[in-house]
Structure 1
Amino acid sequence: MDKELKNNLEILLEEVAKEFNLKVYSLNLLTNQNPIIIKIIIKKTNEEDITIEDCSRFNNPASAVIENSNLLKCSYVLEISSQGVSDELTSERDFKTFKGFPVNVELNQKNSRIKLLNGLLYEKSKDYLAINIKGKIKKIPFNEVLKISLCTRQD
């Protein structure tokens, strides 16, 4: 029942989302809660950031389509949000935004014992990533980098 309900809700909500140039990134039903919680994470179709206004504008039409569908016969709480910021840095925008932030850099170095570096994001070029490790700038060729992630503090 829950899977069928979720699929039906997702179909209805996708139609509403299209009207606002949004898409439903994920939909979760927390049926173990009383009242049930419907968590919807939305994304813009043009990949721009979601604002609180986007969530607010989507809320009433989403609520109306759920009510009019008669799929739920109980009370519920509707939560609409964005997916938030990913810890992994991938785009040029990420590197500009998080310059100076602490990062973990996973390395792909076959003959090295060092598999992870931790420092402050300093610079990204087309050939290398530079991080500040205790005041020293270390340039790492991109062919040696597996993953770059934000971290909460320097270890």
Structure 2
Amino acid sequence: MNKENKSKLEALLAIVANERNLEICGLNLQTNKNPIVIEITIRKTNGDDISLDDCALFNTPASDEIEKSNLLNCSYVLEISSQGVSDELTSERDFKTFKGFPVNVELNQKNSKIKFLNGLLYEKSKDYLAINIKGKIKKIPFDEVLKISLCTLKD
């Protein structure tokens, strides 16, 4: 499949997804396999989790549209999936869900040698992030935080 047809396929699937309050966040074609594999990664536009049922309900209309488009003249396998869980914490929901979990905080401190802190996620406010480092609560202003990720704690 050439690049132009892949773009057409992606645009077509985006319309199908949009009608179901979904969006396409990844399209991968494995043309080296026989039959070829079309992997579509979807997410809900409102940010809710994707369920197995959501993937199954998207499969048939996506397949129907691919067939009607005549963009593929070969057999294929269609795989629908979600993005899964990211290690990076970004939403308010992430911070509530993973309170008490080990995190790695990447810092943006220009005048400090410390670039990373590890601890247990304690609290997030609009101004700071608090983590528990060996029983002591450290409050880090958000203007000093570059990234917050789930991790495993090391002694």
Classify the secondary structure of the residue corresponding to 2:100: coil
Question: Which consecutive aligned stretches of 4+ in structure 1 deviate over 6 angstroms post-superposition?
Answer: none
Aligned to 1:14: 14
Unaligned segments of structure 2, at least 5 residues: none
Aligned to 1:38: 38
Aligned to 1:115: 115
Aligned to 1:130: 130
Q: Deviations over 1:100-139 (max 9, x none)?
A: 1111101111221110011111111222211122232222
Aligned to 2:80: 80
Aligned to 1:55: 55
Unaligned segments of structure 1, at least 5 residues: none
Q: What one-letter code is carried by the residue in structure 2 that aligns with 1:129?
A: L
Q: Is the 8 A contact 1:105 1:118 kept in 2?
A: yes
Q: What one-letter code is carried by the residue in structure 2 that aligns with 1:43?
A: R
1:94 is displaced (CA, Å) by 1.1
Classify the secondary structure of the residue corresponding to 2:16: helix
Q: TM-score, normalised by structure 2?
A: 0.91
Q: Deviations over 1:20-62 (max 9, x none)?
A: 1212122111112222111111122222222211111000111
How many residue pairs were aligned?
154
Separation in 2, partners of 1:94, 1:106:
17
After superposition, residues 62-77 of structure 1 pair within 5 angstroms as: 62-77=62-77
Separation in 2, partners of 1:70, 1:39:
18
Separation in 1, partners of 2:62, 2:80:
9
Separation in 2, partners of 1:30, 1:83:
18
Separation in 1, partners of 2:79, 2:45:
20
Does residue 1:140 correspond to 2:140, yes or no?
Answer: yes
Q: What one-letter code is carried by the residue in structure 1 that aligns with 2:66?
A: I
Q: Is the 8 A contact 1:42 1:81 kept in 2?
A: yes
Classify the secondary structure of the residue corresponding to 1:71: coil
Moved more, 115-124 or 40-49: 40-49
Q: Deviations over 1:65-85 (max 9, x none)?
A: 112222212221111111122
